[in-house]
Copies of this chain bind each other. A is one copy, B any other.
């Protein structure tokens, strides 16, 4: 299972690169949307919006051959690039770099030791040159060596002060308004919404409920190993510098099966990391919705696809055409990208 080998995939996902900015260019009112008031106001009318509303109408219509009981209405959402922005780099990657800087005073040797030196010098070439091995060292130094509770607090504190470099707002505000509406729309139709992300499960859980209304038990992600132990008479889970599971690519169906135990009937992604999740969800008979967010709007957000290192969309874009998945063209299909616009 090469595609599931952790260091390789992590580095493919996370290695810093120059940002590929490829600007691209892009109505029909649904009866269903009109009938219950438009629950997707940030989506422009058109084939994409219609495909979503029609899917929901079909699987929720009592007596219809396509009816799916509420318990089986499972929807899986990728996070980076699908619910929040993953450019100019994955948010968790920015967190890792900031943590190295914050911990540097306690580790004076980092000034002259790679890959730490590269981070401190903001030398992205040297960082990229440190490869997978460097990335694993950085992850271990910043994501392990504390309890799960302590890590959750570190993440929350960081999110409280860190700002997106372009939008100058907390990362938790750089989330896609149309996707928030879609999450709520599905839930109002009896769906249970899950996040299924290549990002760290414990990096997302501290804020997923507040930001997405997705509780921690509905977050699936990558993880490192933990160890249970009593410390000063209190039970703790201590985070170890060892990868446990990589919830990306072929890992996504595995993570879905492990955590959810049933196959989603709708899946939402934006990159090749979501390909297998979309296959697993849609290629099983029955009415299914596979949707890919294609970042086409450099003006309001970013434009990237086949050449991007963060959120590369290549094979999955080809598969979308072959499998009739819905492809969102942000420029054309989203009336508004962020709530703060």
Chain B residues closer than 8 Å to A234, beta-carbon distance? 283-284
Given A71-B209, A217-B192, A235-B283: A226 touches B257 (CB 8 Å cut-off): yes
Contact yes or no, B209 A257, CB < 8 A? no
> Which residue of the partner chain B has the closest CB to A148?
B257
Q: Mark A205-229, 1 if CB is under 8 A from B, else 0.
A: 1000100000111110001001111
Q: How large is the interface on A (under 10, 10 to 19, 20 to 34, 35 or more residues)?
A: 35 or more
Expressed in whole angstroms, the Cα–Cα distance for A260 and B279 within the complex equals 26
B216, B257, B259: the one within 8 Å of A237 (CB): B257
Q: Mark A164-200, 1 if CB is under 8 A from B, else 0.
A: 0000000000000000000000000000100000000
B227, B228, B257, B262: the one within 8 Å of A280 (CB): B228
Contact yes or no, A261 B230, CB < 8 A? no
B235, B258, B280: the one within 8 Å of A253 (CB): B235
B209, B215, B235, B276: the one within 8 Å of A284 (CB): B235
Expressed in whole angstroms, the Cα–Cα distance for A258 and B215 within the complex equals 13
B201, B227, B258: the one within 8 Å of A1 (CB): B227
Q: Does A135 lie at the interface of the complex (its beta carbon under 8 Å from any beta carbon of B)?
A: no
B227, B230, B257: the one within 8 Å of A279 (CB): B230
A143 to chain B, nearest CB (A): 15
Chain B residues closer than 8 Å to A243, beta-carbon distance? none
Which residues of chain A (65-112) have a CB below 8 Å from chain B? 71, 74
Expressed in whole angstroms, the Cα–Cα distance for A262 and B215 within the complex equals 9
A49 to chain B, nearest CB (A): 27
> Which residue of the partner chain B has the closest CB to A3?
B228
Q: Does A254 lie at the interface of the complex (its beta carbon under 8 Å from any beta carbon of B)?
A: yes
Chain B residues closer than 8 Å to A205, beta-carbon distance? 261
A208 to chain B, nearest CB (A): 9
Contact yes or no, B226 A261, CB < 8 A? no
Closest 6 CB pairs of A and B: A216-B261, A228-B250, A235-B279, A205-B261, A228-B253, A217-B260
